[in-house]
Structure 1
Amino acid sequence: MSYHSVKNPKDEKLLTEHLKRISEVKTEDPQKFLHHVIDQICEKKISFTDIYGFQTSQLSDIVAAFAKLSKGYIGKGLSDEQLLNDLELASVPKGLAKIIYKVLSARKAEIEKVLKLNSVKIGKLWLKDFDWRINHVVSSSELSEINEPIFSLFLYLVDPNNQEKEVVLEMAKKELEEFIDSLTKSKQVLQNLQF
């Protein structure tokens, strides 16, 4: 039997090792600890050294395992049963497995939001603002006459170094229709993705 949340054998081995570490954590309130781990996954600053006396390396393994598990559960749209099977496969005690399930269920929307934001940040540039206008091109010669609107789309992009860049797209009516079609199809694909 293999994991539902990860497919790579190397990831399966790491997930098993690190999830076992979660069960070895000595804390009075494992639920509170796991909420702090999710805070860490959601990029909120928590000082585990002050609260639990952990070293950074110990914590990073636990956070990595829990992140992989939660991304698999939420990002792949796994069922509750599949999550519990993964926890059983990793030899996580039943009591702790129920706590993990309860915590992940409670914070599902927040983790899903972070996953979506991180997937948007994958690209090197992101859209800050945009503007548009329609120019009408009128020209004539003995051979042809041009009387066509041109759509101009101004995209204001920002790179990871916060440098702004302007991109201008100019399209005739047919090109604009094709562009809108491709955006509509992209939107449908994104809506069908399960996060």
Structure 2
Amino acid sequence: MSSEKPTSTTVEKLTKYYSLQVVSQERLYNFLPKISVLDSDKVCSDFIHSLIDQICGKIISFDRFINDENQRIVYQLIRVYTLFINKVVGKDLKKEYICEDLKTANVENIYITTVSDCIISRFQDIKKELTEKLSAISSSSLCDFDWKMNAILSSDRINIVQENVLLLNLTIETNINDKKEQVLIELSKKELDHILETFDQINEVIQSLKV
């Protein structure tokens, strides 16, 4: 009589990190070790729980973590660790894989333990929130669009400057009575660059929710 050994569930690695599917995003994880700028593992725990609160829809102030010397770093940590949490929860990673990703990023051991414990302790809350956000995104969809460039003149006391403006006409379809709405957006180059950057961030969140 033969007995079968239980097979362990393994996670496919598409990059050097279990939680990333796109190699170009690896550079973002280079900032993960900067978590050591926080004074202790206790402060780190408070920081990660505050991030999770924000992900779950609460309005959070991070002022208590910021001083004149670390302001830029803390703001970057907020962005990068929000992405990291979205990624590991979106891929439903176990603690061992979360720790392995942090280790690969050269995060100090004491912070690896703290960060992974915080995420695991609130894993289901995060997953529920991300699922609801994805559902909300999916409730409306872009079914058509049109665009054209307009040249407008702007002036100050000295110069008259021609500025190109993008006119974007979006047709949005909602799930409510199959209603369609027309949305007209006028964007300067600076505004267009900003919205493209925002779309890139939205795509990162959506990719993190894909299994």
TM-score higher than 0.5: yes
Return 5+ residue gaps in structure 1 as ranges: 127-158, 169-192
Would the alpha carbon gap of residues 60 and 29 (structure 1) be closer, same or farther in structure 2, given more than 3 Å must change?
Answer: closer
Determine which of 79, 84, 87 is the counterpart of 1:72.
87
Whole-angstrom distance in 2 between the partners of 1:57 and 1:114: 28
Whole-angstrom distance in 1 between the partners of 2:23 and 2:83: 14
1:166 match: 177
The equivalences for 1:46-85 within 5 A come to 46-49=60-63, 51-53=64-66, 58-85=73-100
One-letter identity of the residue aligned with 2:78: V
Summarize deviations over 1:156-185 as a string: whole Å, max 9, x none: xxx89xx995349xxxxxxxxxxxxxxxxx
Residues 74 and 111 in structure 1, CA contact (< 8 A), matched pair in contact too: yes
What is the root-mean-square deviation in Å for CA atoms of aligned residues?
3.1
Name the TM-score, length of structure 1 as normaliser.
0.58
One-letter identity of the residue aligned with 2:177: E
Matched, 1:30 2:41: no
Summarize deviations over 1:68-111 as a string: whole Å, max 9, x none: 22222211122221111100011111111000111001111111
One-letter identity of the residue aligned with 1:85: E
3-state SS of 1:114 partner: helix
Matched, 1:3 2:17: yes
Determine which of 87, 107, 119 is the counterpart of 1:92.
107
Would the alpha carbon gap of residues 167 and 124 (structure 1) be closer, same or farther in structure 2, given more than 3 Å must change?
Answer: closer
Q: Is 100-109 or 39-48 further displaced after alignment?
A: 39-48
Matched, 1:20 2:15: no
Residues 54 and 60 in structure 2, CA contact (< 8 A), matched pair in contact too: yes
Whole-angstrom distance in 2 between the partners of 1:39 and 1:74: 14
Name the TM-score, length of structure 2 as normaliser.
0.54
Summarize deviations over 1:2-39 as a string: whole Å, max 9, x none: 0011122221111122x122122235522112111211
One-letter identity of the residue aligned with 1:98: T
Identical-pair percentage: 24
Residues 4 and 82 in structure 1, CA contact (< 8 A), matched pair in contact too: yes
Would the alpha carbon gap of residues 96 and 164 (structure 1) be closer, same or farther in structure 2, given more than 3 Å must change?
Answer: closer
Whole-angstrom distance in 2 between the partners of 1:16 and 1:53: 21
